[in-house]
């Protein structure tokens, strides 16, 4: 029984960074202001010849596509005075692969969320107040694990984000449709590598703040309980 309790706690600890990271990826995917920030920073309107308002509508179309069963993606924009399809066939195929990854993130986030809630609920019913100590320790170690993972990711990004970005595509995409031409393909014009670097920083920074809050609060509760026992 003790082995099972420790195993379930270990899974809970691992679930904390998974929950935080997948949740923040989901938030970033659906945050229109992040898209607009990238469009402005990388002067996408000048590069593509597409008006800023049209780019915003295109980003909203992407978000809607990622959250729907629609296939294939169809987004039209005004380029000058002419209406045209935003993405070519190769880009459409790649976006279908991207959508698959985003949906996988959603499923993983929902799965770990369910586990965390069940662990806390069943543990509280089964163990009562004694379980609160185990829960607090699990949250503390989950926060620590999250920070450690982010530090490793940060070191990797500083050493070579380009290589990490390349490895990511080789690992998660089975086709080569992600290899786009920045001179002709609008998808990579709209979302250059720098955009993903900024998005990674946003996700990592948000996750770090959340992990520190979780670790700090749970650590404070454990320390307070220990002082009560001592005195």
Task: Respond yes or no on whether the N-terminal peptide bond of residue 174 is cis (omega within 30° of 0).
Answer: no
Percent of the chain with pLDDT over 90: 84
Q: Are 187 and 87 in contact (CB under 8 A)?
A: yes
Residue 228 has pLDDT above 70, yes or no: no
pLDDT category at 231 given cuts 50, 70, 90 is very low
Q: What angle do CA 72, 25, 33 make, to 5 degrees?
A: 80
- pLDDT above 50: residue 32: yes
Cα–Cα distance measured from residue 107 to residue 168, given in angstroms and rounded to the nearest whole number: 19
Residue range 129-148, pLDDT digits in tens: 889 999 999 999 999 999 99
| Sequence ranges of the domains in the chain | 2-230
Return the structure tokens found at 87: 């993405």
The structure's pTM equals 0.94
Distance CA 56, CA 48 (A): 13
| Lowest mean pLDDT segment, chosen from 81-85, 107-111, 205-209, 225-229 | 225-229
Average pLDDT over residues 67-94: 94
Mean pLDDT computed over every residue of the chain: 94
- Across the range 41-47, mean pLDDT stands at 97
Residue 41 has pLDDT above 60, yes or no: yes
């Amino acid at each position: 029984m003790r082995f099972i309790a420790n195993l379930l706690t270990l899974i809970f600890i691992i679930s904390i960074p998974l929950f935080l990271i997948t949740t923040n990826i989901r938030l970033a995917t659906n945050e229109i202001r992040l898209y607009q920030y990238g469009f402005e920073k990388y002067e996408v309107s000048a590069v593509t010849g597409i008006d800023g308002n049209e780019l915003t509508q295109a980003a909203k179309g992407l978000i809607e596509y990622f959250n729907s069963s629609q296939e294939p993606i169809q987004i039209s924009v005004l380029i000058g005075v002419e209406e045209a399809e935003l993405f070519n066939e190769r880009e459409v195929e790649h976006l279908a692969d991207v959508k698959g990854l985003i949906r996988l993130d959603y499923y993983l986030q929902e799965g770990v969320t369910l586990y965390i809630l069940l662990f806390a609920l069943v543990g509280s019913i089964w163990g009562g107040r004694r379980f609160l100590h185990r829960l607090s320790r699990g949250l503390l170690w989950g926060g620590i694990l999250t920070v450690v993972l982010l530090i490793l990711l940060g070191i990797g990004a500083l050493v070579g984000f380009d290589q990490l970005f390349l490895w990511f595509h080789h690992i998660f995409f089975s086709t080569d449709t992600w290899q786009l031409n920045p001179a002709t393909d609008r998808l990579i014009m709209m979302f250059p590598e720098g955009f993903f670097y900024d998005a990674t920083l946003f996700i990592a920074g948000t996750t770090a703040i959340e992990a520190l809050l979780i670790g700090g609060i749970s650590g404070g509760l454990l320390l307070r309980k220990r002082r009560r026992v001592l005195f």
